[in-house]
Chains A and B, each alone.
Chain A
Amino acid sequence: MSKRIVVAEDFNVSRKIIVSTLAKEGYTVMEAADGSEAVELFDGRTVDLLITDFNMPNMNGAELIQKVRAMNSYSYMPILLLTTEVRQEKIQQAMDGNITAFIKKPFDTQDFVKIVKKALR
């Protein structure tokens, strides 16, 4: 069965790029434009990986990650956080111990796929 990935990102263009890159790799991708949309996607489904932006309307990445980690079935799910170079350090401190890896924007799709594959092992 193909792995299921939730992508939360409010910026349409980058979300579309991520979704199409992942779909090409054969993953089942569910997309959300903000944190609260993303939380709904976890309800009653199996999700293998969350890729989320930090800054989003309604519910930001940190809250989303907190909500998801609080769900029983997702306490050990890999989570990849999209950040920009500048903010990384700050966010890193805040998110330490909760996420699997950072993906710096802009990213190279090949590296991106490599990281996703690795996270899903």
Chain B
Amino acid sequence: MDFIQEYIEEATQVLKNLEESLLQFEQRSADPEEINTVYRHLHTLKGSAGMFGFHDVERLSHELESVYSDIRDGVRQQDDFILDLTLHAVDVLRELLDGKDSVKEVDKIIHDIRGLHEGRIHASGAISTHGVAGQEEGFVIILNPEKQIFKRGINFQAIIAEIQELGSCEFIVHNEIVPFEKQLANKEIESWFEIILVSKAGLAGVQDVVLFMKPSEYKVFPITGSDLFTSEPYQKFIQLSEKEVEHRLSIINGINPALLASTHRPAAKDIHEKPIETILSDGEETEDEDQDIRIIRKSKKNGHVSVATQKLDQLINIVSELVIFRSEIHHLMSDTKNREVAEALEKLERLTLRLRDSAFGIRLVPLNILNSKLQRLIRSVSKELGKEVEFITEGLDTELDRSMINALEAPLMHIIRNAIDHGIETPEERESRNKPRKGLLKFYSYNSGDHVFIQLQDDGNGIDFDKIRAKGIEKGLLSKNQTYTEKELISVMMSAGFSTADKVTTVSGRGVGMDVVKKDITAIRGDIEVSTEKGLGSIFTLRLPLTLTILDTLVVKVSDNKYLLPISEVQFCYEEEHAKLFSKKSRQINYEGQLMPFVSLREHFGIEESKEKETVIVINKNDTKIAVVVDSILGKLQTVYKPLNELLHTADCFSGASILGDGSMALILNALKLKS
């Protein structure tokens, strides 16, 4: 394994976290917790940089670290200048990791930082009121769950995991007559637990974790001093020997000695002598410990493994093929009478689906990873244009396929740029319209069915349809004498070579317009929708499939061929007499009182056969409806979507291809394109 490569990956991750914390900062400047986080990230960065020969990284992060240690200690106040400087430094650090030679920039930033330090000497009288990072508190949680707690639908494992997430903790398991893992597997809890937790979550945070447990099942003791374990309420639960008390104290001392030292002054004296003793006795102590007590040490963070995308893709590929194979077996064994085989098949089926879900789950990442990029974009664009923007996000924990998030980045940035440039007005303009000076930009995302929706809403001026009409006429995209609906105008706005900025600004007039956004979104099988209200703002809605490769389809037969229709687009199917369908000249059916065009696939593919009964499938894709007439429906199938290669791109009535359970190929129909 290449250590340098590993370091670069890790450092890049640290930089990303650092950036996120910095942006957090901007919104809630006085949060000492975040200051500490920034400081920690810088420290991590510095620590390992030198080892791998990144001396400039080391130099720069060292200087930054000193600034943030001042802020943390309340000697200096965080301000915009420092934030800008640090964000710039993050970019430079990135370049350095990429192997770029940015020594000049490094020197410049270091010079600026030193300037700050000198400024500090002059202004040393003013000591900031900023608080020191959030207080860590200690708790002992006694958990004594009912044996049948799982039967209440409570996942005891999740409770344990949540406690571990709260901070540094140590578990002491009592009455472990059956190994704890076994108890979890049997879903019967015999043991009870003493948990020493050091956390910043506070008592309320701890009580939140045990929300579903009965009052008789838990007890939380704040650690107030070393006498806790010998106090009467505690002894009600367990009578500890001197050695056991000592052991618990040493655990607390190991996590954060300040907890015992600072609170109870009289008690502090005893403890001061204790660490030495405990270090000495540590080895024998665990041996001496009662057999039923076991210590699990858990660090604060959940473990993460970073895996090369290539390996992941390989896994997904194998899983995808397994899914096909499952369909094939299912197909082959579909009329088996053997019950055991059928049961085994069912198990295989369930497992495959679970495997598929978790394999795809690995690829899913929360949209959160885009957050810092978007925030920085908004920051820089609004500064550049002299606009004030408040960015609100909701649902950033919505998960999407990694590749999809990558593909989304450019279009999202473009929409945001547009919204700030064209949508949100200058603060003066806004005031004259009785709007708050600060424009509002909202980013929502949520799951619905097998789709993820992302909405970007601004409270700006809305889309100016008059402008679009005029521009469209000028560009020769619209005719002067015709009236257009708003929907049509929006689709013109998203067509190639359309840009409405009065003058080309560096922000949104880059020669590419909404057409590129639309193309990008369509490329990942998504849709974009725009709604707008003049003077009030606009909403851009992106609708994206959860995964790119697995598709639920309806298999239809046309003559000897099979075709696939995405089930999400199928609204209704029914049978109809051939004669009745084709009696009228206009190729339209009446479905629920609505006339819609239909296309006979036999006709479309030039097959001259006739049938008495036809099967009509009503397709509804984003409210555009079309009916497709086929010979028959064969069934439902989950397929792996494979894109068509370049040679077939001209046949746009097919969106892809897939392998069927019996090993044969079928094309996936893009019904809306059949119309023309």
Contacts and interface: CB of A to CB of B under 8 A. Distances in A.
Given A26-B447, A118-B212, A100 B153 contact: yes
A28 B357 contact: no
A61 to B, nearest CB: 14
Interface of A: 1-2, 23-26, 28, 69, 75-79, 97-101, 115, 118-119, 121
B286 interface: no
Contacts of B146: 97
Interface stretch (B154-162, B600-608, B623-631, B664-672): B154-162
A76 to B, nearest CB: 5
B234 interface: no
Contact of A121 (B152, B158, B446): B158
B148 interface: yes
A47 B398 CA distance: 20
Contact of B211 (A23, A97, A98, A118): A118
B211 A115 contact: yes
A100 B187 contact: no
Contacts of B150: 76
B152 A24 contact: no
From A1, A97, A119, name the one whose CB has the most chain B CB atoms within 10 angstroms: A1
Contacts, number: 50
Which secondary structure characterizes the binding site on chain B?
loop
B158 A98 contact: no
Contacts of B386: none
A121 B208 CA distance: 13
A2 B546 CA distance: 10
Nearest to A76: B150
Interface in B629-659: none
B593 interface: no
Given A2-B448, A2-B449, A76-B153, 13 more contacts: A2-B447, A26-B395, A26-B447, A75-B151, A78-B153, A78-B154, A79-B153, A99-B152, A99-B153, A100-B212, A115-B211, A119-B212, A121-B155
Given A1-B357, A26-B395, A26-B398, A97 B148 contact: yes
Interface of B: 146, 148, 150-155, 158, 161-162, 187, 211-212, 357, 395, 398, 446-449, 546
Given A97-B152, A119-B153, A76 B211 contact: no
Contacts of B448: 2, 23, 26
A100 B357 contact: no
A79 B155 CA distance: 12
Contacts of A24: 446
Contacts of B153: 76-79, 99-100, 119
A115 B212 CA distance: 9
The 3 A-B residue pairs with the shortest CB-CB distance, nearest first, are A78-B153, A26-B447, A100-B153
Nearest to A49: B153
A98 B446 contact: no
Contacts of A23: 448
B545 to A, nearest CB: 13
A101 B152 CA distance: 8
Nearest to B154: A100
Contacts of A2: 447-449
A118 B209 CA distance: 9
Contacts of A100: 152-154, 212
B357 to A, nearest CB: 6
B359 to A, nearest CB: 12
Contacts of B151: 69, 75-76, 97-98
Contacts of A25: 446
Contacts of A119: 153, 212
B537 to A, nearest CB: 21
A2 B395 CA distance: 13
Contacts of A115: 211
Nearest to A101: B212
